[in-house]
Structures are given as C-alpha cells and as structure tokens.
Amino acid sequence: MILPNSHLLKHRILYLFRQKPALTAEKIQNLLAKSDKSCSLQAVYKELRGLMEEGIVQKIGTTYALHATWVLQLQAFAARLATVTFSDKDGFAQLMHQKKRQSWKFDSLLAMNDLWAHLFVYLARHAKNKDLLAWNPHLWFHLFQREREDRFLKSILAMGCRFHVMVGGTHFLDQWAKELFDKNGVVYSQTRGPFYGDTKNYFNVIDDHILTLKLTDATDRRLAQVYGATQNAEQFFASDLINVFMRDGHCTLSLEYNPKKAERLRCLFSNYFGAEL
C-alpha cells in the first residue's frame, strides 16, 4: 500500500503512527481533531477494521498498532525502490536531463534531506564546474545529523568539488554548526549578501542546476523560534529540532535546469567570494 499525501481518512490514520507506535481509537480521533481533520469515532473504527483486514494494522487489547510484517515489507519495498530510482544508469540520469522544473512536497525535513542529498551527490559527480554554491539561512541539518553530514561532505570533497556557502543566520546555533564543518573543504561568508533576510529559501547552484528548498511559513517560524531561544549550548535541546524535523517540517524541494539563472547566481556569489570562484 502506497502512502501519498492523501486526504483519505485511512491514510491520515496511518500517518499518526509515526508519532506513537500504539494508539486507541479515541486517541486517533482526538489527534485528527487537533489537525483540523475531525471525524466521528465510528468512522475511525470503520477504517481501523479495514486496515486490519488488509494486514496493515493489528489490535492489541484496546490499542491499535502497525503490523510488524507490513512495516518490514514496506521497508524492503522502499529500499529496492531507492536502489532503482537513485541509480546513475536508469534513475537520476533521466531525472537530471529534463529541462522543466520538478518539485516534491514533504511534511518532514528529514525525509526531504534524504532526497536532497541523493540529488546533490549525483549533480556534483557529473558537474563540469566543481565550484558548488549554497545559500543557507540556517545550518540546522548539521546539528541533528553530524556524522551523516560529515560523510556527505567528505564524499563531495573527494570528487574534487569546492564548497562555497553563504550563511544567513548569526545566532548561536549558526555559529556553532559552522564550527562542525570541515574547514579545509568549505569556504564561508556571513556577510550580508544579496539573499540576506530570505529565511524560507535554501538553494544550491551546481553547474547549470539549481536545487531549492522552500519552507512553509509555519516551518520557518518554528525554526526561528528554536534559533532565537538558544543562546548557548546548555539551552540547546535536540528534541526541539526533532519536533520540527519530524512533524512540523512542511517544505518543497525543487530541481531546475537553468543555465542563465545559474550564471546570474554565480555572479552574485562571486561578489563575496571573489577570486576563489
């Protein structure tokens, strides 16, 4: 069973199990009501019965949980799907050669970051211009997945790429995250550049492609709250960012092939990185 962003009640119920492994029908009804998707308790029971018949949900006492077998099957399916989709030969190659803008919507920044990383690595590997550019209002991804981001960065540098990053924020967490990066492979600028003040859009310029992440207003506000409230390491609670990543991370990732736009952006970056570009 595929889980698109759907308004179907059974899909909304399944998404709730990402928050808690076991839920009663009453709790499901309450959670749906909080998300402005209220429904009757009778309707919840009806959908749960249907999900049980499909082997997706099982009942344990008075609570309901996802069936472990279905979760493992879904995991295996997703792994195989990722292998085919992200292959150089058949997957990304066709994706990259399209001239139109392509977009994907997410309600999880972590899920978005997975696709972003795959797209970025493929683009970097095949780029003729190895000067990779980035505008990052905040460096939240490195705070939460440091080891993974370190491996990602090392793989990019191993391809002979040079990473130039404009960081928009000057909060404690922005400064702290910057220190976690490989200083030998990344050049930073925190000077007020042409994109200063744009906190909802993150983008990369890789050869003639532009990879853009756009946050919703709500996600942007949640991140701003976390960054604004953290003045030192003692005040940093990873759980605050986890909540944003897992439940409040509504965003859109876009890939665009546009040589003229890419060149314009490179000119803007060169004003701040000079001869290094």
Q: How many folded domains does the chain comprise? A: 2
Q: What percent of the chain shows pLDDT beyond 70?
A: 81
Does residue 129 share a domain with residue 170? Answer: yes
Per-residue pLDDT tens over the stretch 181-237? 656 678 888 778 889 889 999 999 999 999 999 999 988 988 888 888 888 777 666
Q: Is residue 1 part of a domain?
A: no
Alpha-carbon separation of residue 55 from 19, 72, 81, 92, 135 (angstroms): 20, 12, 22, 34, 45
**Residues 67 and 99 both lie in one domain:** no
Which domain range does residue 60 map to?
Answer: 9-71
pTM, two decimals, is 0.68
- Say which amino acid occupies 70: W
Kindly state whether residue 248 falls inside one of the protein's structural domains.
yes
Tell me if 265 is assigned to some domain.
yes
Same domain, 161 and 67: no
Round to whole Å and give the CA distance between 47 and 13. 8
Does residue 134 sit in helix, strand or coil?
A: strand
61 and 103 part of one domain: no
CATH of the domain at 41: 1.10.10.10
Residues 78-105, buried b or exposed e (16+ Cβ, 10 A)?
A: eeeeeeeebeeeebbeeebeeeeeeeee
pLDDT tens column, 29-58: 998 888 767 789 999 999 999 999 998 999
User: 172 near 232, Cβ under 8 Å?
Assistant: yes
Q: Is residue 83 part of a domain?
A: no
Domain membership of residue 76 (yes or no) is no
Q: What is the pLDDT of residues 67-126, one digit of tens each?
A: 888 887 887 777 676 666 666 555 555 666 666 788 888 888 877 888 898 889 889 988
Q: Say if residue 114 is in the same domain as residue 225.
A: yes
